[in-house]
Amino acid sequence: SCATASSAEEGFEQAEENTPDAIILDVRLPGIDGLAAMERLQTLAPQAPITVITAHGDLSTAVEAVRRGAFDYLAKPFALDQVEGVLERALQW
């Protein structure tokens, strides 16, 4: 199954209720930003690989996320098959 959240705080609640197998996380979020959210999600769901989404012009943020333990990143705009490929690799990780 798949769950969505419109904020990091909502994502934290969902991760506490039902531990995710993988996480796709935008770095630009209302409230807590994606990099700060990633740290909390790594604590709530340490086994879940996190893929971050970033704007094409903000690749340094994606590199920083990977340095902090993100599994991979997707730069906007991206195609659906790119998401599928990243999720397949993440779930096999």
Residue 57 to residue 70: CA distance in whole angstroms: 19
* Tens digits of residue pLDDT in 46-85: 999 999 999 877 889 889 999 999 999 999 999 999 999 9
**Which pLDDT belongs to residue 73?**
94
**Which pLDDT belongs to residue 93?**
87
Mean pLDDT across the chain, nearest whole number?
93
**Which pLDDT belongs to residue 58?**
80
User: What is the token pair recorded at 79?
Assistant: 């195609």
Strands ordered across the beta sheet of 23-26 = 23-26, 50-55, 72-76
Q: Is 2 helix (H, G, I), strand (E, B) or coil?
A: coil
Output the pTM of the full model.
Answer: 0.92
Burial of 32 (0-12, 13-18, 19+ CB in 10 A): middle
Whether residue 77 is preceded by a cis peptide bond, meaning omega within 30 degrees of 0, is yes
